[in-house]
Amino acid sequence: MEYDILILGGGPAGLSTALHLHQLAPHLITSPQGTSRILLLEKAHYPRPKLCAGGLVADAEIILEGLGLDVSEVPHVDASAAHFDFAGKGLTVSVPKRHTLRIIRRDEFDAWLAKKAENRGIEIRQGVTVRDVQPDADGVTVITDQGEFRAQVVVGADGSNGVTRRCVLPDAPVHTARVLEVLTPARPLPGPPPFSAKMGEGRVGVAYFDFFPVPAGIAGYTWDFPAQVNGQPMRCWGIYDTNLLAHKPRPALRDPLAEEMARHGFDLSQHELKGHPIRWYSPRNPVSVPRVLLVGDAVGADGIFGEGISIALGYGKLAASELVGAFNTGDFSFSGYRRRLARSALGQTLFVRWAITRILYRLHWTWFQKWFWRFWKPVILAFSWIFVLNWGKRLKP
C-alpha cells in the first residue's frame, strides 16, 4: 500500500504531527481524488494503556489550544501547586489564576487525541505492529505484522522503545532513564505502623517531587501526584532515575519509592509496580536520516523530570512544518531538521534542560542538594520561567 506520509506510532508525538499537518497543509492529508495521502500506524487499540503519570504542563495546553483543542474535555484532576523538596524542605510553585499541573490518564488522553485526528480526516490503522523500516533513494518500505507499506517519507513516533530509531540510526547514542510507577487510592488504608490512614492527608491536590534519593546514587526524584481513575480519586507515585550516577553503588530503584510512600502512610508492597524507560534528549543525538524524521521520545524527552507530553506535542508541530517544506521542494533529505529543532523554542528548552540535568544530578552531595532546594528559590523560579517553561507560546511552525 502506498502513501505519501506514514506516521509510525499514535502517541502525542505522532498524533500532534498529523494534526499540525492537517492545520498547515490539508492537501497533504487527502488527495484531490479523496484518497488518504497520510496513514498513522498504531500497534495497540485505543484506549490503550500507557505507563505515564499524565502531568500536563501549561505548554502542552498551549499547543493543543493552537490546534483548536480543549483538553478539559478529557477527565482530569488539577494540581493547584507543585512542590519541589529535598529531605523535608524545598519550594512550592503555583501559577497565578490557573492550575499548575493538569493530570490526565494517558489511555483517555491519547484516545481523545486520536478521535480528534480521525474527525479531521486522518486515517489511523490500529493493531498494526511495525517490525522494520527500510529507507532507500526513492522512498521508505515499512514492514509490519500486517504486510508491507510504502511511502515517500516516514515519521518515527514510536516512543522510547520504538523500532524506527533502531532501524535507521542503530549506532546512535542513547540516554535512557529508568522509571517506576504505582497507583494507589487517594488515602492510605488503615494498617500497622508505619502505615496509617491519618498520614498523607496534607498532600491532597498538590504535585510533589522529592529529590532525596540523589545522594544515594539515584539521579532523579520520587513523585506523588493527585490522579483519578474512572472518576475515583487516586494518587500516582513513582521514581525517575536518569542513570547519570550509574557508576555509583545504588539501592534497588523501588527502595526509595517504598521509603517515600511509607513516610506518607502507604505500603508499596500492597500495590502493583510497573516500569518503563524514558529516552531523554541530548543535543548530540541525530534526529533524522534521508526520508525519515524522528519525533517525541524517539528523539528524547526532558532529562530533568522525564516530562515528555508537551515536548512530544511540540516535536509534532516542528515535524509537520519539515514535511510541508519537503513536499514543497521535493527535497526529502531532512538535512536541516536538527538545526531547525535546535534553534526552535522547543530545542532551546530541551538544551537548557539537558544542561541542568547534567549539572543538578552530577552534584549529588547532600550539602549541595539541601543548599540548592532551600536557598536558591528566586533563582530557580526566575530561571525556570524564562528558560524552561513558556516555550509553547514561542514555538513557530
Q: Is 295 helix (H, G, I), strand (E, B) or coil?
A: coil
Count interface residues toward ligand FAD (CB under 6 A): 38
Quick check: 224 binds ligand FAD (CB under 6 A)? no
Quick check: 18 binds ligand FAD (CB under 6 A)? no
What stretch of H or E contains 147? strand 147-156
In the chain, the N- to C-terminal Cα span, in Å, equals: 30
Nearest CB to ligand FAD, comparing residues 152 and 222: 222
Residue burial 71-85, b: 16+ Cβ < 10 Å; e: rest: beebebbebeebbbb
Quick check: 347 binds ligand FAD (CB under 6 A)? no
Cα 274 to Cα 85, 237, 254, 317, distances in angstroms: 24, 11, 10, 31
Binding mask 272-311 for ligand FAD (x = CB under 6 A): ----x-x-----------------xx---x----xxxxx-
Residue 87 DSSP code: T
Q: How far apart are CA 256 and CA 251, in angstroms?
A: 8
Quick check: 59 binds ligand FAD (CB under 6 A)? no
- Please, what is the minimum distance in Å from the beta carbon of residue 158 to ligand FAD? 4
Quick check: 50 binds ligand FAD (CB under 6 A)? yes
Nearest CB to ligand FAD, comparing residues 148 and 331: 148
Nearest CB to ligand FAD, comparing residues 51 and 363: 51
- Please, what is the minimum distance in Å from the beta carbon of residue 176 to ligand FAD? 11
| Contact pick of 163, 168, 257, 258 for ligand FAD (by CB under 6 A) | 163
Q: How far apart are CA 78 and CA 227, in angstroms?
A: 8
Q: In the chain, what are the helix, strand and coil shares in percent, each to the nearest 5?
A: 35, 25, 40
Quick check: 241 binds ligand FAD (CB under 6 A)? no
Cα 256 to Cα 82, 203, 217, 262, distances in angstroms: 20, 18, 11, 10
Residues at the interface with ligand FAD (CB under 6 A): 8-14, 41-44, 50-55, 129-130, 157-159, 162-163, 179, 181, 238, 276, 278, 296-297, 301, 306-310, 312
